[in-house]
Amino acid sequence: MSAFLLSFAVIFIAELGDKSQLMAMTFATRYRFWTVIAAISAATAVIHLFSVALGSIVGLSLPTGPISLVAGIAFVAFGLWTLRGDELSEDEESRVQRSTRPAFIAVMIAFFLAELGDKTMLATVTLATTQGWFGTWLGSTVGMVAADALAIGVGTVLGRALPERVIRIGAACLFFIFGAWLLFEGVQTTMG
């Protein structure tokens, strides 16, 4: 249960202001809400299952102290990445606009490709090195879908007038806190 809650919180926060949210809002202007959410859920479940498998393998191969140190550094990097912001590339924007495939398939493929190497994928790999694989997979998947559903809902109500800078700074601060906590644990484990 702790792996689920931690993964949900971290990935939900990581997704705030991410390009996936922008894609979700864009797709929601073309397709029905439930179609977009179902496609996001399918793509996220697959990519995060792969991420958890990778993280579990790394977690079994390395001692806990160095993993916590690397994870802490990674979370600080995710915070810096979040501060920098994320925007849809021209290729991603045009993929959303010109899609002629059935809606579910188009959204699922676009999300799958957008998430490869994204900070939420890397955060899931990082979490899986020290947490249980199932809780991490389920929590990260539900956290990402919840954040994207929130973006679609808020985007529909508020349009493009979201306080993006405030969201980005808040999410970055939470990453810095998680990173500091992991660094502290890593130093304590390595020294102790």
**Low-confidence winner among 24-28, 46-50, 162-166, 176-180 (lowest mean pLDDT):** 162-166
Tokens of 8: 């949900």
Sorted by sequence, the CB contacts under 8 Å of residue 69 that are 6+ apart come out as 182, 183, 186, 187, 190
The closest alpha carbon to 70, from 190, 180, 183, 176, belongs to: 183
Average pLDDT taken over every residue of the chain:
78
SS3 category, 99: coil
Better pLDDT: 187 or 144: 144
Res 90 pLDDT > 80: no
CA gap 189, 82 in Å, rounded: 28
For residues 81 and 168, give the distance between their C-alpha atoms in angstroms, rounded to a whole number.
10
Question: Is the pLDDT at 132 greater than 80, yes or no?
Answer: yes
Q: What is the mean pLDDT of residues 113-138?
A: 84
Q: Which residue has the tokens 């958890």?
A: 52
Q: What is the pLDDT of residue 20?
A: 76
What does the pLDDT read at residue 143?
A: 94
Q: What is the pLDDT of residue 192?
A: 64
Q: Which of 120, 118, 138 shows the shortest CA–CA distance to 3?
A: 138
Question: For the segment 146-170, what is each residue's pLDDT rounded down to a tens digit?
Answer: 999 988 887 666 545 556 676 667 6
Using the 8-state DSSP alphabet, how is residue 59 labeled?
H
Residue 114, domain extent: 2-191
Q: Are 29 and 93 in contact (CB under 8 A)?
A: no
Which amino acid is residue 29, in one-letter code?
T
**In terms of pLDDT, which residue wins out, 31 or 4?**
4
Token pair, residue 185, equals: 């644990």
Write down the pLDDT at residue 161. Answer: 52
- pLDDT surpassing 70 at residue 97: no
pLDDT of residue 175: 67
Total domain count, the chain: 1
